[in-house]
Structure 1
Amino acid sequence: MSTVDTPRDGAQDVPPRMLTLWCPDWPAVAACLADGTPLHLPAAVFHANRVVACTAVARAAGIRRGMRRRDAQSRCPELNVFPPDADRDARLFEPVAAAVEQLVVGVEVVRPGLVAVPAGGASGYFGGELRLAELLVEHVSQHTGVECQIGVADGLFAATLAAHRAQLVERTRTPDFLAPLPVTELDQPHADRAELVDLLRRLGLRTLGAFAGLAERDVAARFGRAGMIAHRLARGLDERPPHRRRPPPELTVTTTFDPPLDRVDAAAFMARTLAERFHGGLARHGLACTRLGIYATTENGEELSRVWRCAEPLTPQGIADRVRWQFDGWLRAAPDERPTAGVERLRLVPEETVEGHSLQLGLWREGTGVLGGLADEHGPAAERAGRALVRVQGLLGPDSVFTAVLDGGRGPAECVRLVPWGDPRAPQSPPDMPWPGRLPAPSPATVYAQPLPARVLDAAGAEVRITRRRELSAPPHRVAVGDGPLREVLDWAGPWLVDAHWWTPGGDGVRTRVQAVLAGEPETAVLLTRVGGSSPQWTVEGVYD
Structure 2
Amino acid sequence: MSRVLALWCMDWPAVAAASAAGLTATDPVAVTLANRVIACSASARAVGVRRGLRRREAQARCPQLYVSTADPARDARHFEEVTAAVDEVVPRAEVLRPGLLVMPVRGAARYFGSEHAAAERLVDAVAAAGAECQTGIADQLATAVFAARAGRIVEPGEDARFLSGLSIRELATEPSLASAGRGELTDLLWRMGIRNIGQFAELSRTDVASRFGADAIVAHRFARGEQSRGPSGREPERDLDAVRHCDPPIDRVDAAAFAGRSLAGELHRSLESAGVGCTRLAIQAVTANGEELNRVWRCAEPLTEDATADRVRWQLDGWLTKRALRNGPAGPTGPITTLRLHPVEVVSAGALQLPLWGSSGDDDRLRARCALVRVQGLLGPEAVQVPVLSGGRGPAERITFTALGDEPAPAADPHQPWPGQLPEPAPAVLLDDPVELLDAEGNPVRVTNRGLFSADPVHLRSPESAAVLQWWAGPWPVDERWWDPGSPRAGRTARAQVLLGSMAEPGPAMLLCYRQRRWYVEGIYE
Report the equivalent of 2:287.
298
1:162 aligns with 2:147: yes
Whether the 8 Å CA contact 1:63–1:72 is kept in 2: the answer is yes
Partner Cα separation in structure 2 for residue 252 and residue 271 of structure 1: 13
Report the equivalent of 1:100.
86
Secondary structure of residue in 1 paired with 2:270:
helix
Report the equivalent of 1:132.
118
Whether the 8 Å CA contact 2:260–2:309 is kept in 1: the answer is yes
Report the equivalent of 1:183.
168
Secondary structure of residue in 2 paired with 1:265:
helix
1:86 aligns with 2:72: yes
Partner Cα separation in structure 1 for residue 261 and residue 215 of structure 2: 28
1:346 aligns with 2:331: no
Report the equivalent of 1:405.
382
Whether the 8 Å CA contact 1:49–1:429 is kept in 2: the answer is no
Q: CA deviation at 1:68?
A: 2.5
Secondary structure of residue in 1 paired with 2:283:
strand
> How many residues are aligned here?
384
Q: Call closer, same or farther: CA 1:74–1:174 in 2, change over 3 Å.
A: same
Report the equivalent of 1:331.
320
Whether the 8 Å CA contact 1:41–1:57 is kept in 2: the answer is yes
Report the equivalent of 2:14.
28
Q: CA deviation at 1:316?
A: 0.7
Secondary structure of residue in 2 paired with 1:405:
helix
Report the equivalent of 1:262.
251
Q: Which one of the candidate residues 253, 260, 265 is aligned to 1:271?
A: 260
Partner Cα separation in structure 1 for residue 224 and residue 101 of structure 2: 22
Runs of 5+ consecutive residues of structure 1 not aligned to the other structure: 4-15, 387-401, 409-423, 435-440, 442-496, 501-545
**Can you list the C-alpha shifts for 1:40-78, whole angstroms capped at 9, x where unaligned?**
121111112222111111111122222222332222222
User: Where does structure 1 differ by over 6 angstroms across 4 or more consecutive aligned residues?
Assistant: 241-245, 367-371, 427-434
1:145 aligns with 2:138: no
Q: Call closer, same or farther: CA 1:244–1:362 in 2, change over 3 Å.
A: farther
Secondary structure of residue in 1 paired with 2:315:
helix
Whether the 8 Å CA contact 2:14–2:31 is kept in 1: the answer is yes
Report the equivalent of 1:533.
none
- Where do residues 129-528 of structure 1 align in structure 2 (5 Å cutoff)? 129-142=115-128, 144-187=129-172, 188-190=174-176, 191=178, 192=180, 193-238=182-227, 246-333=235-322, 334-337=325-328, 338-356=331-349, 362=364, 377=375, 403=380, 405=382, 426=404, 499=486
Partner Cα separation in structure 2 for residue 263 and residue 498 of structure 1: 48
Partner Cα separation in structure 1 for residue 407 and residue 87 of structure 2: 38
Q: Call closer, same or farther: CA 1:429–1:123 in 2, change over 3 Å.
A: closer
Partner Cα separation in structure 2 for residue 269 and residue 115 of structure 1: 26
The 10-residue stretch of structure 1 (187-196 or 90-99) with the greater mean CA deviation from structure 2 = 187-196
Whether the 8 Å CA contact 1:258–1:344 is kept in 2: the answer is yes
Partner Cα separation in structure 2 for residue 258 and residue 223 of structure 1: 51
Runs of 5+ consecutive residues of structure 2 not aligned to the other structure: 354-361, 386-401, 413-431, 433-483, 488-526
Secondary structure of residue in 2 paired with 1:21:
strand
Secondary structure of residue in 1 paired with 2:218:
helix
The 10-residue stretch of structure 1 (88-97 or 260-269) with the greater mean CA deviation from structure 2 = 260-269
Partner Cα separation in structure 1 for residue 269 and residue 258 of structure 2: 18
Q: Call closer, same or farther: CA 1:148–1:272 in 2, change over 3 Å.
A: same
TM-score, normalised via structure 1 length: 0.65
Partner Cα separation in structure 1 for residue 321 and residue 9 of structure 2: 20
Secondary structure of residue in 2 paired with 1:332:
helix
Secondary structure of residue in 1 paired with 2:127:
helix
Partner Cα separation in structure 2 for residue 309 and residue 217 of structure 1: 29
Q: Call closer, same or farther: CA 1:72–1:377 in 2, change over 3 Å.
A: closer
Aligned-CA RMSD value: 3.2
Partner Cα separation in structure 1 for residue 199 and residue 115 of structure 2: 30
Secondary structure of residue in 2 paired with 1:100:
helix
Q: CA deviation at 1:427?
A: 8.5
**Could you tell me the percent identity over the aligned residues?**
47
Q: Call closer, same or farther: CA 1:356–1:61 in 2, change over 3 Å.
A: farther
Aligned amino acid, residue 76 of structure 2: A
Secondary structure of residue in 2 paired with 1:67:
coil
Secondary structure of residue in 2 paired with 1:102:
helix
Q: CA deviation at 1:317?
A: 1.0
